[in-house]
Amino acid sequence: MVPVQAAHLAALGNRGVFVGGTTGECYSFSTDERAALLRAWGPAARKTGLKFVGHVGHNSLPDAHHLVEASVAAGADAIAAMAPNFFKPHDVDALTDWCVRVAAPAPEMPFYFYDIPGFTGVALDTAEAVRRLAERLPSFAGVKFTNPDTDLFARCIEAGSGLNLLFGVDEMLLSGLERGSPGAVGSSYNYAAPLYLKIIKAFEKGDLETARAWQTRAALMIEVIAAHGYGPAAKAVMALAGVDCGPTRPPQRTLPPEKLTTLRAELEALEFWDEVFVTRVE
């Protein structure tokens, strides 16, 4: 399925893939399964021309190192790691130290900090973390900022001159662009990238009215999907788009057929299904 998904993502207009993140249910996979997934994405990304970022975040440092090594072996373009979420770093120094330790096996590989406090429970000053990581980690490349705090994101942009600070809250993409983000990483780009490309194109042309209109549509789409439980429903939408990524793993529950039918009807009622899923794989 990885080659099919890679072709689908490229056809939708995506330029990269973030492998094994939140929507990829990373913490529901064993470390060996995650390493196998990274290895599978290497040739698929190269064939489709997608940039490939391997997520290596883990609560165990040796396991994180195993995933770093798998990413390197797979030919990843970069690695990324979210903060550990059981024994959490309680200050920026501890978080910086953790990231430096995670990245150690691949000192030349660009490293991104994956900031997602809603899941990790680690809500530190990301802007200060950007400054510290820039000082201590030569391979530090940027942040995947999945945090609705756009004021904090603006401070990250200010602190991280020359870094690649990617916005990760899909329903707020326009806010991230307005704050200076050069790009984005998000779950709904798996199936609705054309919608977001409309936002980006309008923003780049200075047509904020159109950009806001499309952003409103994106937020409504996500609201509909999230009402069914975002993770399982997002996987169901991928199947509707022609890329069946399989069931979700416990404790998440796969969407039953009757709810899938309801979800599809709700999305079609938004009247932009064909615009969003124009390159659907049959």
The catalytic residue positions are 114, 144
Structure tokens at 135: 């000082």
Structure tokens at 136: 């201590």
Rounded CA-CA distance 73/34 in Å is 13
DSSP per-residue letters across 109-163:
S-EEEEE-HHHH-----HHHHHHHHHHH-TTEEEEEE--S-HHHHHHHHHHTTTS
Helix (H), strand (E) at residue 219: helix 208-226
Is residue 218 within 8 Å of residue 188, measured between CB atoms?
A: yes
Is residue 157 within 8 Å of residue 130, measured between CB atoms?
A: no
